[in-house]
Amino acid sequence: MSDAVSPLAPKSYPQMPPIDGVRIATAEAGIKYKGRTDLLAMVFDEGTTVAGVFTKSKCPSAPVDFCRANLPGGSARILVVNSGNANAFTGKKGRETTEMTAVLASKAAGSSSKEVFLASTGVIGEPLDAKKFAHLLDDMVVRAEPGLWAEAGKAIMTTDTYPKYLTATCQIDGIDVTLNGIAKGAGMIAPDMATMLSFVATDAPIGARALQDLLSKGVGMTFNSVTVDSDTSTSDTLMLFATGAAEKRGAARIEDAEDPRLSNFRRALNKLLKALALQVVRDGEGARKQIGVTVTGAKNARSAKRVALSIANSPLVKTAVAGEDANWGRVVMAVGKAGEPADRDMLSIWFGDIRVAHAGERDPDYSEEATSSYMEGDEIDIRVDLGLGRGQATVWTCDLTKEYVAINGDYRS
């Protein structure tokens, strides 16, 4: 966790309402960080359903394996998250840590170990000693209380410079329901499912299969459309918990994701996921600028997204933005290397509303002064039209500064 807060941090934070059926506690376990919380327990009432999406990394962490094994049960009673150690690439010791944690967490929550979910974030390859924190779980469950969402956001931070938490409300069949979400992440961000760690809870009464469908479809244009440094984490975990408490207030229980009564909830969830994902981008390690990359005119949407990610992940594009240089030649390079259909002579490029290139060459009305002025802002939009079809996609990233190198050059020290 950096001492200097990102200049792109939120200017204000929302008041986080309690979610009926969720209680929260945090603790200082001293896993890596001193003088700050690094352990989170989220306790759910009986009947809470769960959905999750996880990293597609071929080297997943032990907690990811554990969650994948428990997810088909569709039921959750407790979530335990630690920061400072990813419990990834830790072999048999890593599995033993998850098993010990699950046994003690289920005992504390009065549940089956199949209703326990775990997540860890931090250094890869260092064994995580469950004895450092497992003894804290009984007390955490006892003192857990509903309103500690801001504290939850702080406890899961690593190199983040600010906590990420948001709330939303919507109606299901005329009954108000609430969604609260937290996220962490600043580096090793190039999601291949979700991103880093993010946990969302709601009091909506939604069955596990419907919940999973909503979440799986929701990540595509949100968490799967952001990148900080093109590196997919071993620990990426996004989970959605539904306590069903709104059923007591008259909300109908819904088991089918295509039920039209879920339309408002789907919109609210997707909006919340996108906002959390953008908070991660805006806290990218060393970031000073948010960059939106939109590609239109591609053969199809999948092709458009691959081209957009090629631009967004280019160190040369990202450093040009950091230097406030509208170097559209680097955008041309990134389009050309993407391996997707493109025609040099049909390419058009915009920085904001300024068209800098058209029909395969510099725009005849290009103004260096106007474009340089635009590049001084902290939100930069790059748009590329390929002129080949109707496919389009938008992804978000941040600039690449020398601070990124400084943060990651001594991460283990």
Query: What pLDDT, on the 0 to 100 scale, is given for residue 1?
Result: 46
Low-confidence ranges of the chain (pLDDT < 70): 1-3, 191, 194-195, 411-413
Query: What pLDDT, on the 0 to 100 scale, is given for residue 195?
Result: 61
- Which residue numbers are catalytic? 195
Token pair, residue 46, equals 């009986």
Nearest to 187 by CA among 376, 404, 29: 404
Nearest to 202 by CA among 13, 17, 14, 12: 17
Question: Residue 29: in which H helix or E strand, if any?
Answer: none
Three-class SS of 301-329 = HHHHHHHHHHHHCCHHHHHHHHCCCCCHH
Q: Which tens digit of pLDDT belongs to each residue from 114-129?
A: 999 999 999 999 999 9
- With b meaning 16 or more CB within 10 Å and e meaning fewer, what string describes 261-297? ebeebbebbbbbbbbbbbbbbbbbbbbbbbbbbbbbb
Query: What pLDDT, on the 0 to 100 scale, is given for residue 2?
Result: 47
Placement of tokens 């805006």 in the chain: 282
Strands 197-202 and 237-242: parallel
Polymer length in residues for the chain: 413
* Distance (Å, whole) CA 375 – CA 370: 9
- DSSP character string of 58-121: SS--HHHHHHHHHGGG-B-SEEEEEEEE---S-HHHHHHHHHHHHHHHHHHHTS-GGGEEEEEE
* Distance (Å, whole) CA 245 – CA 48: 9
For 364, counting Cβ atoms within 10 Å of its Cβ (0-12 exposed, 13-18 middle, 19+ buried), the class is: exposed
Nearest to 314 by CA among 332, 334, 328, 329: 334
Whether pTM > 0.85 for this model: the answer is yes
Query: What pLDDT, on the 0 to 100 scale, is given for residue 188?
Result: 77
* Distance (Å, whole) CA 190 – CA 121: 15
- Contact in structure between 182 and 13 (CB atoms under 8 Å): no
Give 142's contacts (C-beta < 8 A, 6+ positions apart): none
